Amino acid sequence: MSSLLEILSLVILKDTNYISTLASGPYGLIFASFVPFFLDIPITSRYRIFGLNFSDKSFIYLAGLQLLLSSWKRSLIPGIFGLVAGSLYRLNVFGIRKMNILQVISSFFARYFAPSPGSTPRPSRTVVGNTPSQRGRAVQNQSSTGFAPMVEPPESSVAMLVSMGFDGNDARQALIRARNDINVATNILLEAQSR
């Protein structure tokens, strides 16, 4: 949103050198985040320095002011329109909060960059050696339904989980659910204990 406003302002100001006129970097995002920072985050402490009143948020504003004025027009335009974009979002102008921009972007990339339905997945390769890993064999043996076959967990993984204090059958089931990933299996077992 702030990028569109920046370009629009340059068109209105009749500045034809768009690229060198604007400072590179996330100025729009940084200054858009100042709006909720100002409105939503409370001041927790106040103090005086040389007779001037400051709060714990004052130095953030001073750093923002320095960034805003750092390259004059090159940083001033993106900064101001970042503040405008943050305000537009806060006020929900044009129903901007209901727009799911991330879903639009992800569906675009899924449509144009996802593998076609008829293509077969490439087999996974291991970096070290020529022997595929346990996980690699499970991926290579996938059925057409897309589900990986259940692979019996290695006894060494079960023994490691048992040595951590988990039950052997629970450890085996967790490893099957985690596709033999011992870290995921440990998380499954710990979550089951906390319930």
Average pLDDT, whole number, for the chain?
Answer: 75
Return the bridge partners of 54, or none.
47
Residue 7 has pLDDT above 80, yes or no: no
35 belongs to a structural domain: yes
Domain boundary among 64, 99, 134: 99
Residue 2: what pLDDT?
Answer: 59
Residue 17: pLDDT band with limits 50, 70, 90: low
Question: How would you class 28 by CB atoms within 10 Å of its CB: exposed for 0-12, middle for 13-18, buried for 19 or more?
Answer: buried
Residue 70: what pLDDT?
Answer: 84
Residue 94: what pLDDT?
Answer: 76
Residue 126: what pLDDT?
Answer: 45
129 belongs to a structural domain: no
Question: How would you class 47 by CB atoms within 10 Å of its CB: exposed for 0-12, middle for 13-18, buried for 19 or more?
Answer: exposed
Mean pLDDT within 59-72: 86
180 belongs to a structural domain: yes
Number of folded domains that form the chain: 2
Residue 133: what pLDDT?
Answer: 45
Q: Are 178 and 185 in contact (CB under 8 A)?
A: yes
Residue 142: pLDDT band with limits 50, 70, 90: very low
189 belongs to a structural domain: yes
Q: Which domain holds residue 73?
A: 2-99
29 belongs to a structural domain: yes
CA-atom Rg of the chain in angstroms: 28
Residue 164 is part of a domain; what is its CATH number?
1.10.8.10
Residue 135: what pLDDT?
Answer: 45
187 belongs to a structural domain: yes
pTM: 0.45
